């Protein structure tokens, strides 16, 4: 078993038994479940909208190289610099170079899972740069020295009481503050940082080929402040965020807000097409866009797993997943958790080390059911399992067990060879892993043949 697999099992075993954790998660996911159906009503024909979104993403991903080059050409024409990074290390080195050139001491950052993926904050801390998370949920997580718990709602596992306690401990605020008071405290702290910061970093919800723009969606205005106040704006984005045209946003923005947070439209939707232009008064003087691969082309290489690149990171599959709801986001110990995380992480990182995630599923298909871009998530989990077996990543006992199963399933005489007791003993011994957390399997005393013969006899 890989190190990541044992960590996953240990953490999820503890979390699954933590009733307080389950209560908080259920509370927050229930709030989400109450508003999503309302937001869905804004679509005349939701299924057609989802299918259309899937087709647009299919087109974008099938032509990924050309689309990205079109984006580069168009945004470069407006003064932005595009940097292609194959790995996390390359992206970090480029960010480090820009920060050094700008003599950066403080950097403000809006919520971005890609920067979590490359561990940007850790890297910046080593360079002596203070990186401040400006999204409230991320700010809470940074204060608590914890990674995000969920790709959309980073502090979903914390109650308002937990946050009030954290602020009192870390910021010295009076105990028991209300959510409004806590927000005002964070606001006051963060406003100063936007003014101080030399560099602002954002992600991108979408990158748009035909206009050379990036689209950033958020509810707090912190993304806008992070990219507009500092003199230098760095965008870090995965290459899969591409959309062919600006007009596609009219479909993707409401889909993202509906499935992500149950809003008709997110509060702030910003489209940025380069740094401040000659005739403009506001905005950064320089803009860099880092296009990150970091394993995404591994998903692209296989026509089956390629579909995972359609993901718009709405988080709906996490909220719908019975496994996620029990073990929570941190048990996965990966940047992307839940069903989509289990699908993409083995390809972004290492199949051997992370193949266990593909088994952390009941294969109920709820994730596929709720995905706005109709990614066949549960089938992709099966594809990962298939790939792992093809690469020889299955234990000897498992291989022997399945061989025996196949042999006996194809031959009735073998099935009839022993009685139920012997079969139960053999199967429960060979499938020890299965019975560790489940009741033993019990085979019927009589074989199917025997039962059939008896039935036929009674008919006479």
Regarding 314 and contact with ligand SF4 (CB under 6 A), the answer is yes
Distance in angstroms (rounded) separating the CA atoms of residues 344 and 333 = 14
Please, which residue, 29 or 370, has the CB nearer to ligand SF4?
Answer: 370
The neighbour count for residue 194, using CB atoms within 10 Å, is: 19
Stretch that binds ligand SF4, among 48-56, 89-97, 160-168, 373-381 (CB under 6 A): 373-381
Distance in angstroms (rounded) separating the CA atoms of residues 79 and 135 = 28
Please, which residue, 25 or 317, has the CB nearer to ligand SF4?
Answer: 317
Instruction: Label residue 36 exposed, middle or buried (CB < 10 Å: 0-12, 13-18, 19+).
Output: middle
Q: What strands lie across the sheet with 130-133, from one edge to the other? A: 81-85, 286-292, 232-238, 199-202, 106-109, 130-133
Distance in angstroms (rounded) separating the CA atoms of residues 355 and 384 = 7
Q: How far is the CB of 456 from ligand SF4 (least distance, A)?
A: 51
Q: How far is the CB of 346 from ligand SF4 (least distance, A)?
A: 15
Single out the residue of 29, 54, 17, 8 nearest to residue 361, CA to CA: 8
Distance in angstroms (rounded) separating the CA atoms of residues 222 and 155 = 17
Stretch that binds ligand SF4, among 121-129, 201-209, 309-317, 397-405 (CB under 6 A): 309-317
Regarding 313 and contact with ligand SF4 (CB under 6 A), the answer is yes
Give, as ranges, the residues between 247 and 276 that touch ligand SF4 (CB under 6 A).
none
Q: How far is the CB of 391 from ligand SF4 (least distance, A)?
A: 24
Regarding 95 and contact with ligand SF4 (CB under 6 A), the answer is no
Give, as ranges, the residues between 28 and 47 that touch ligand SF4 (CB under 6 A).
none
* Helix segments in 279-362, DSSP class H: 296-301, 316-320, 322-327, 338-348, 351-354
Question: Helix 160-171 vs helix 179-196: angle between axes, to the nearest 10 degrees?
Answer: 50
Q: Three-state secondary structure along 325-391? A: HHHCCHHHCCCCCHHHHHHHHHHHCCHHHHHHHHHCCCCCCHHHHHCCCCCCHHHHHHHHHHHHHHC
Question: Helix 19-40 vs helix 249-261: angle between axes, to the nearest 10 degrees?
Answer: 140
Please, which residue, 212 or 295, has the CB nearer to ligand SF4?
Answer: 295
Regarding 311 and contact with ligand SF4 (CB under 6 A), the answer is yes
Instruction: Label residue 400 exposed, middle or buried (CB < 10 Å: 0-12, 13-18, 19+).
Output: exposed
Q: How far is the CB of 389 from ligand SF4 (least distance, A)?
A: 24
Stretch that binds ligand SF4, among 22-30, 188-196, 282-290, 372-380 (CB under 6 A): 372-380
For residue 420, give the 3-state DSSP assignment. helix
Q: How far is the CB of 274 from ligand SF4 (least distance, A)?
A: 28
For residue 256, give the 3-state DSSP assignment. helix
Stretch that binds ligand SF4, among 29-37, 117-125, 365-373, 413-421 (CB under 6 A): 365-373
CB 332 within 8 A of CB 357: yes
String of contacts with ligand SF4 for each residue 324-363, x by CB under 6 A: ----------------x-----------------------
Stretch that binds ligand SF4, among 87-95, 371-379, 423-431, 439-447 (CB under 6 A): 371-379
Stretch that binds ligand SF4, among 187-195, 369-377, 400-408, 430-438 (CB under 6 A): 369-377
Regarding 380 and contact with ligand SF4 (CB under 6 A), the answer is no
Please, which residue, 241 or 423, has the CB nearer to ligand SF4?
Answer: 241
Please, which residue, 54 or 446, has the CB nearer to ligand SF4?
Answer: 54
Q: How far is the CB of 284 from ligand SF4 (least distance, A)?
A: 30
Which helix (DSSP H) or strand (DSSP E) does residue 216 occupy? strand 213-218
50, 333, 372, 387: which one contacts ligand SF4 (CB under 6 A)? 372
136, 299, 316, 388: which one contacts ligand SF4 (CB under 6 A)? 316
CB 187 within 8 A of CB 219: no
> Which residues sit at the interface with ligand SF4, rule CB under 6 A?
311-317, 340, 370-373, 375, 377
């Amino acid at each position: 078993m890989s190190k990541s697999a044992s960590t996953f099992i240990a953490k999820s075993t503890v979390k699954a038994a933590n009733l307080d954790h389950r209560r908080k998660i259920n509370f927050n996911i229930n709030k989400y479940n109450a508003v999503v159906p309302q937001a869905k009503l804004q679509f005349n024909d939701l299924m057609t909208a989802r299918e259309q979104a899937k087709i647009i993403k299919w087109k974008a991903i099938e032509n990924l190289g050309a689309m990205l080059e079109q984006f580069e050409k168009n945004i470069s024409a407006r003064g932005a610099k595009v940097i292609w990074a194959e790995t996390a290390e390359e992206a970090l080195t480029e960010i480090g170079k820009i920060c050094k050139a700008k003599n950066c001491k403080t950097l403000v950052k809006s919520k971005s899972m890609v920067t979590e993926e490359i561990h940007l904050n850790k890297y910046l801390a080593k360079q002596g740069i203070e990186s401040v998370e400006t999204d409230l949920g991320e700010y809470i997580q940074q204060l608590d020295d914890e990674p995000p718990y969920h790709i959309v709602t980073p502090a979903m596992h914390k109650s308002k009481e937990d946050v009030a306690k954290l602020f009192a401990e870390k910021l010295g605020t009076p105990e028991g503050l209300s959510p409004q008071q806590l927000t005002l405290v964070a606001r006051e702290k963060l406003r100063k940082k936007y003014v101080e910061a030399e560099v602002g970093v954002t992600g991108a919800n979408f990158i748009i080929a035909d206009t050379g723009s990036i689209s950033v969606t958020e509810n707090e205005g912190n993304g806008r402040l992070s990219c507009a106040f500092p003199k230098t704006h760095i965008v870090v984005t995965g290459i899969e965020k591409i959309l062919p045209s600006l007009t596609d946003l009219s479909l993707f923005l409401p889909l993202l807000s509906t499935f992500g947070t149950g809003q008709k439209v997110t509060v702030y939707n910003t489209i940025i097409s380069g740094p401040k232009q000659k005739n403009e008064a506001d905005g950064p003087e320089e803009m860099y866009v880092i296009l990150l691969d970091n394993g995404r082309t591994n998903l692209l290489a296989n026509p089956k797993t390629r579909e995972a690149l359609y993901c718009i990171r709405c988080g709906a599959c996490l909220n719908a997943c019975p496994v996620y709801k029990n073990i929570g986001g941190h048990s996965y110990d990966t940047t992307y958790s839940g069903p989509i995380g289990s699908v993409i992480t083995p390809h972004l990182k290492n199949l051997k080390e992370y193949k266990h995630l593909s088994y952390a599923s009941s294969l109920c298909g709820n994730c596929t059911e709720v995905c706005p871009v109709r990614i066949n998530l549960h089938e992709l989990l099966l594809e990962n399992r298939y790939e792992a077996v093809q690469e020889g990543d299955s234990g000897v006992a498992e291989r022997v067990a399945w061989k025996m199963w196949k042999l006996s399933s194809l031959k009735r005489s073998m099935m009839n060879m022993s009685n139920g007791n012997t079969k139960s003993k053999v199967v429960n011994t060979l499938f020890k892993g299965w019975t560790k957390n489940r009741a033993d399997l019990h085979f019927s005393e009589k074989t199917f043949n025997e039962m059939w013969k008896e039935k036929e006899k009674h008919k006479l």
